[in-house]
Amino acid sequence: MTCEECEHWKRRVKELEKKVAEQKEMIERLYSKLRQYENPHTPPSKKRDSSNEDEGGKDEDENENEDDGEGDTVKDDDTDPDQPDLTSDDRSTDKKPGRKEGHEGTTRPKPEVDEKLDVTEDECPHCSSSLDDPDEIETKTIEDLTDKASVEVIEYKIGHYFCDDCGEKVIANHPDCPDEGRFGNRTCTQTTLLKFEDRLTHRKVKNTLKRDHGLDVSTATVLDLTRRTADKLRPEYKEIQEDIINSDVLYTDETGMKVDGKQYWIWGFRNEDSIFFALRNSRGKKVLNEILGDEFDGTIVCDGWRSYPSFTSDLQRCWAHLLREAKDLDSDEGENLADQLQDMYDELTEFVDRKPPPSKRKRKKEEAKTAMKEMIDQEWDEERTDELATKIERGLDHWFTFVTEKGVVPTNNKAERALREHVVHRKIIGTLRNEKGTYIHETVMTMLATWKERSLNTHDEMLRILRS
């Protein structure tokens, strides 16, 4: 080979090396973009098989919103935190629908009869001959709705008094006569439930009130009725916050929601019988300081978001997130790590289920911590496996709290389930308009979630507070 040919091939090799480097960079960039949509924290409903949605992460813009305080489009946000529990990731698609074999069926109980009607015929519809008494009587009990409720207009004549003894002015009050506005407590209750429990937009609430009750209001009035309701609910909202602060074990999580196109977060806090929501424009530690303050001294069960360990050292990190990330490594090395973690999780949960004494719990925790340290200190060839091992090591003090502390569970599923209703609202409305919307949303959603958690009737509870 001549010198000229040698130089030619050297130049060719350099060109190919440059091209390979450019292709590697492109692959890495595309892979990074793909991971925004398909990662271990993406629920099955969000896995994409088409490109009909906009690209973007947590800060993507939502669709334009209506003038009545909310968007009117279905809009996804790929920060959906609604992870299923540890078993639901492996749901089989070939399961038969319906109840499981051996499951006892239930029959709707027969209701009390309000009215009895005799259904008779005087003449034969075929030949017009007269009919005698029926040969037999068939009894059929039917449950049906009554006619549409109409609007009731009441004029209250409110007495004003002057007390001769103390000199104070006294104004009479009636529980169904609100302090503000011309619409009553039942209207406020129904409107708020349509909006937040039935997930209707303001426009559809307006249409429903007109169709079902003959009440003609504007979308702005719908918004104001929910604001009036939130104002009355706010004192009990604050009481629930106090209950959350006094929790021994607290499950927390957060998910994004746009407010006037800007990124906010819905923070969810849940204990045994209370659920509390706060909508803030921050995902940082300052929200935890604001909501929980210095008085909180319980254990927080959470995911790996950095705000939590900066707030408290008494944490339980979520194993559901960890096992999903390990399974997502999708390699022989990753599968090995995932299997080791799964075996450890199964062993620890079985151990805790046996309700061992504190001394054995403490010893088991130290053994597990040592075993995990040895596991992650292995030499990992793949970058993603090594990154997960580093992540595990950073949270090493927080994986095994559930082993020694009674009442603490190893997953954050309770908090994630509490946020699911907000995710559905987010998909429907797209964005809130302003701080008034965040105030109404966090207040009403907190009360509805807590009442349901306590098995209380949401309509009755809301009407009770409005009448107080």
Structure tokens at 47: 């896995």
d(CA 73, CA 425): 11
Looking at residue 130, the DSSP 8-state letter turns out to be B
Query: Closest Cα to residue 276, out of 462, 449, 414?
Result: 449
Distance in angstroms (rounded) separating the CA atoms of residues 36 and 42: 9
Nearest to 34, CA basis, from 327, 328, 266, 427 = 328
**Are 435 and 400 within one domain?**
no
Give yes or no: residues 323 and 402 share one domain.
Answer: yes
Torsion, Cα 443 448 453 458, to 10 degrees, reads 140
User: What tokens appear for 20 in the block?
Assistant: 């390979």
Question: Is there a domain that residue 370 lies in?
Answer: yes
Q: What is the DSSP secondary-structure string of 367-431?
A: HHHHHHHHHHTS--SSHHHHHHHHHHHHTGGGSSHHHHSTT--S--HHHHHHHHHHHHHHHHH-E
Q: Is the distance from CB of 134 to CB of 120 less than 8 angstroms?
A: yes
Residue 237 domain flag: yes
In a shared domain, residues 390 and 449: no
Task: For residue 312, tell me if it sits in a domain.
Answer: no
Domain-embedded: residue 215: yes
Evaluate whether residue 256 is within a structural domain: no
Structure-token pair, residue 79: 């920060």
208 and 239 together in one domain: yes
Give a yes or no: residue 19 inside a domain.
no
Determine contact, residues 321/271, Cβ cutoff 8 Å: no
- Would you call 246 exposed, middle or buried from its count of C-beta atoms within 10 A (0-12, 13-18, 19+)? middle
Provide the pLDDT for residue 105: 74
- Beta-strand pair 249-259/431-432: parallel
Question: How high is the pLDDT of residue 28?
Answer: 81
pLDDT in tens, the chain (468 residues): 778 778 888 888 888 988 898 898 888 888 777 776 666 666 555 555 544 433 333 333 333 333 344 544 333 344 444 444 444 444 445 667 777 777 777 788 888 998 999 999 999 999 999 999 999 999 988 888 777 678 889 999 999 999 989 989 999 999 999 989 999 999 999 999 999 999 999 999 999 999 999 999 999 999 999 999 999 999 999 999 999 999 999 999 999 999 999 999 999 999 999 999 999 999 999 999 999 999 999 999 999 899 999 999 999 999 999 999 999 988 899 899 999 999 999 999 999 999 999 999 999 999 999 999 999 998 888 888 999 999 999 999 999 999 999 999 999 999 999 999 999 999 999 899 999 999 999 999 999 999 999 999 999 999 999 999
Residue 316 and residue 413 in contact, taking contact as beta carbons nearer than 8 Å: no
What confidence score (pLDDT) does residue 61 get? 35
Total number of domains constituting the chain:
2
- Residue 86: the pLDDT is 47
Where in the sequence is the domain holding 175, given as residue range(s)?
162-244+431-467
255 membership: H or E segment, kind and range? strand 249-259
Are residue 323 and residue 393 in the same domain, yes or no?
yes
397 and 443 share one domain: no
Is 334 found in the same domain as 405? yes
Instruction: State whether 168 and 221 are in the same domain.
Output: yes
The verdict on 331 and 399 lying in the same domain is yes
Q: Which of 419, 415, 416, 422 is nearest to 199 (CA)?
A: 422
| DSSP symbol at 254 | E
**Do the domain assignments include residue 49?**
no
Q: Is residue 445 part of a domain?
A: yes
Please name which of 262, 198, 244, 266 lies closest in space to residue 441, comparing C-alpha atoms.
Answer: 266
